[in-house]
C-alpha cells in the first residue's frame, strides 16, 4: 500500500517564505525514508504536513485518506510525529503519564494503557523508567522517551525530525537500533547521513523547497559531487574509508 502520496505540495509561511515548491512523491508502507538537505531546505516543514500540523496547497493522501477536515482526526491517529526537541512532547510529572497520554486519548482501557506504556518503553530501551520524571533524565533519555510517546499509540507511520541530533554515542546507537528493528513506515529528517545510510533504504534530497533527487540511499549518500553541490558532505564513515592511512 502507498503510505504517503503527495501531489504538487506547495507551502509558504505567513511572512512569505516559500518553503516547499510544487513537490510530488510517494512513500510505500514499511519503507524507511530519510529526507536530507541543507538548513532551510524545507525538510521539517514537509514532515509536519503528514499529520496536518500544517496545511499546504496541493493534495496529500495518507494511507488513501485525503488530508482534509473530514479525515484530519483519522490521519492524526495514523501518523505519529516525534519533534526534534523532546521537551516539546514531555510535559507530565512522570514518564508513565507522558507515554499514557496518547493511548488514553485513543480510548484504551487502563489495562491496555499499562501494556502500551510498558511495550513502548521496552521498545526504545527505557524499561523501568515509568515513575521517573523527564526533568531528571539526560537529553538522550528524554529523546528516547519522546519516541516512546509516539510508539505507544501504535501509528502506522512514524515521522521523526532530526532523531539523533545532539545525542551522545550511546543514545544515538540506541535510536539507530530501534530504527533498524522497527517494522513501521518510517520517515525522518536528518543531517546525520551516517545514520541515514545505516537505517534507510531511500533518500529524498531537498534544497530550497524543491526535490533535487529521490532514490536509493546508497546511490545518493555515496555521491560526493551531488552532496557537495547541495552543501552536504559524505557520511563520515565513507570519508574515513577514503582517508589515507598514516
Output the pLDDT for position 243.
Answer: 60
> 119 lies in a domain?
yes
> 108 lies in a domain?
yes
Q: Is 22 left (phi over 0), alpha (psi -120 to 50) or beta?
A: left
> 14 lies in a domain?
no
Output the pLDDT for position 143.
Answer: 94
Q: Residue 193 corresponds to which cell in the numbers above?
A: 547521513
> 1 lies in a domain?
no
Output the pLDDT for position 246.
Answer: 47
**Pick from 80, 43, 45, 82: nearest CA to 190:** 43
Q: Where in the chain does DSSP place strands (E)?
A: 2-12, 18-28, 32-36, 57-62, 65-66, 79-82, 157-161, 185-189, 202-207, 210-216
At 55-66, the pLDDT tens digits run 899 999 999 999
Asked whether 99 and 117 are in contact (CB, 8 A), the reply is yes
> 244 lies in a domain?
no
For the chain, residues with pLDDT lower than 50 are 246
Counted residue by residue, the chain has a size of 246
Strands 79-82 and 157-161: parallel
**Whole domain around residue 147: which residue ranges?**
31-53+78-232
> 213 lies in a domain?
yes
Find the CATH number of the domain harbouring 92: 3.40.50.300
**What's phi and psi for 76, nearest 5 deg?**
-60, -30
At 176-227, the pLDDT tens digits run 999 999 999 999 999 999 999 999 999 999 999 999 999 999 999 999 999 9
What total of structural domains would you count in the chain? Answer: 1
> 25 lies in a domain?
no
Output the pLDDT for position 53.
Answer: 83
Amino acid at each position: 500500500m502507498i503510505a504517503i502520496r503527495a501531489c504538487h505540495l506547495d507551502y509558504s509561511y505567513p511572512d512569505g517564505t516559500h518553503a516547499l515548491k510544487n513537490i510530488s512523491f510517494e512513500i510505500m508502507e514499511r519503507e524507511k525514508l530519510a529526507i536530507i538537505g541543507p538548513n532551510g531546505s524545507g525538510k521539517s516543514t514537509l514532515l509536519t504536513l503528514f499529520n496536518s500540523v500544517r496545511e499546504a496547497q496541493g493534495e496529500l493522501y495518507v494511507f488513501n485518506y485525503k488530508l482534509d477536515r473530514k479525515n484530519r482526526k483519522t490521519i492524526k491517529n495514523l501518523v505519529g510525529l516525534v519533534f526534534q526537541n523532546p521537551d516539546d512532547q514531555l510535559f507530565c510529572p512522570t514518564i508513565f503519564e507522558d507515554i499514557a497520554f496518547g493511548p488514553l486519548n485513543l480510548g484504551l482501557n487502563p489495562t491496555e494503557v499499562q501494556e502500551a506504556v510498558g511495550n513502548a518503553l521496552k521498545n526504545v530501551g527505557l524499561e523501568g523508567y515509568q515513575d521517573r520524571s523527564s526533568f531528571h533524565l539526560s537529553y538522550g533519555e528524554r529523546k528516547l522517551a519522546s519516541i516512546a510517546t509516539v510508539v505507544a499509540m501504535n501509528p502506522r507511520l512514524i515521522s521523526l525530525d532530526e532523531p539523533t541530533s545532539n545525542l551522545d554515542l550511546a543514545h544515538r546507537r540506541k535510536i539507530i537500533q530501534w530504527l533498524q528493528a522497527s517494522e513501521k513506515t518510517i520517515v525522518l529528517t536528518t543531517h546525520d547521513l551516517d545514520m541515514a545510510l545505516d537505517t534507510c533504504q531511500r533518500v529524498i534530497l531537498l534544497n530550497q523547497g524543491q526535490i533535487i533527487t529521490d532514490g536509493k540511499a546508497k546511490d545518493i549518500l555515496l555521491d560526493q559531487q551531488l552532496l557537495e553541490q547541495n552543501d552536504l558532505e559524505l557520511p563520515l564513515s565513507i570519508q574515513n574509508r577514503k582517508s589515507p592511512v598514516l
